[in-house]
Amino acid sequence: MNKLSYKKILSKKNKMPITCLTAYSKPIAKILDGEVDLILIGDSLGTTVYGMKNTRGVTLDMMKNHGRAVVKNTKFSMTVVDMPYNTYRNKKEALNNANILINFTKANFVKIETDNKTIDIVKYLTDNKINVVSHIGVTPQQFVNFKKIKSVGKQNEDRKKLLELATQLEQAGSKLIVLECINQLTAKKITNILSIPTIGIGSSKHCDGQVLVIDDILNFNSDIKKPKFVKNFTNIEENISKAVKKFAITVKNKKFPQQKHSYK
């Protein structure tokens, strides 16, 4: 198996769905590598790994360190690293921090949450040889309280604005566009008018690909209410809980460690 290329991902548009999951560590990266097309080192690590209420507390150093751990253990999939909140407020800041992330992690793309104000930043990064993944629709970095997040693109006016934004981001040089919590019809229209792939999260099957947070598909943190678009594919939390209880009982009953687990 060879390292996936952007050309190969681009060729999948309208032909084969693109797969993407998040990873924040070596073990998960090694499991995902080659199984999904894209591995996203997302700033969602703020809530999933560090227990933050939103992603605004995620730092560049966090993204650097988790990014390097993932990319270093990824041989076949392409990698995308999020630029955290307040690290791309202007062109120069964006380019400086994007270069820091790319040079340190060796990721293939940086992802930024985009609106009309950041189109010029996308173009500036692209002009300076940075591969950019744009992110439109619901952009979590704009929310202090995730409970206030609602789907977008239902009204004609909103639909038109999202279509225009997506088109402008493609023209600015975006390599891919993430569509989050966008109305089905709007997501379909955006996907159809673009020549670059769309990656959906809560934006229907009409996107060129799908992304989810790894913790969500594994059902970690089952006490946290998950968004409508999340689907559990297993119950790792339950399996871990059983293993921990078994370990504790075995130790208390002095059945572990046995002789074979001890050094002579």
pLDDT score, position 221: 80
pLDDT score, position 260: 94
Question: Residue 241 domain-assigned?
Answer: no
Q: What is the pTM of this model?
A: 0.96
Question: Residue 62 domain-assigned?
Answer: yes
pLDDT in tens, 15-40: 999 999 999 999 999 999 999 999 99
Question: Residue 262 domain-assigned?
Answer: no
Residue that has been written with the tokens 């290329």 in this structure: 5
**pLDDT-derived band of residue 138, with 50, 70 and 90 as boundaries?**
very high
pLDDT score, position 122: 98
Is the pLDDT reported for residue 226 higher than 90?
no
Indicate the average pLDDT of the chain: 96
**pLDDT-derived band of residue 1, with 50, 70 and 90 as boundaries?**
confident
Cβ neighbours of 223 (radius 10 Å): 5
Give the residue numbers spanning the domain of 184: 6-235
pLDDT score, position 82: 98
**pLDDT-derived band of residue 212, with 50, 70 and 90 as boundaries?**
very high
**pLDDT-derived band of residue 63, with 50, 70 and 90 as boundaries?**
very high
CB 220 within 8 A of CB 233: no
Cβ neighbours of 228 (radius 10 Å): 8
Contacts of 205 (CB under 8 A, 6+ apart): none
pLDDT score, position 118: 98
Question: Residue 260 domain-assigned?
Answer: no
If you average pLDDT over residues 103-107, what whole number do you get? 98
Among 119, 112, 89, 87, CA closest to 100: 87
How much of the chain exceeds pLDDT 70, in percent?
100
pLDDT in tens, 229-244: 999 999 999 999 999 9
If you average pLDDT over residues 138-163, what whole number do you get? 95
pLDDT score, position 123: 98
Which residues are designated catalytic? 180
User: What total of structural domains would you count in the chain?
Assistant: 1
If you average pLDDT over residues 119-144, what whole number do you get? 98
Transcribe 209-223 into DSSP letters: EEEE-HHHHHT-STT
Is the pLDDT reported for residue 217 higher than 90?
yes
Question: Residue 1 domain-assigned?
Answer: no
Question: Residue 247 domain-assigned?
Answer: no
Q: Which amino acid is at 97?
A: N
Q: What CATH number is given to the structural domain containing 29?
A: 3.20.20.60
Classify the C-alpha dihedral 214-219-221-227 as positive or negative. Answer: positive
Question: Residue 221 domain-assigned?
Answer: yes
In whole angstroms, give the CA distance from residue 81 to residue 20. 12
Question: Residue 174 domain-assigned?
Answer: yes
pLDDT score, position 58: 98
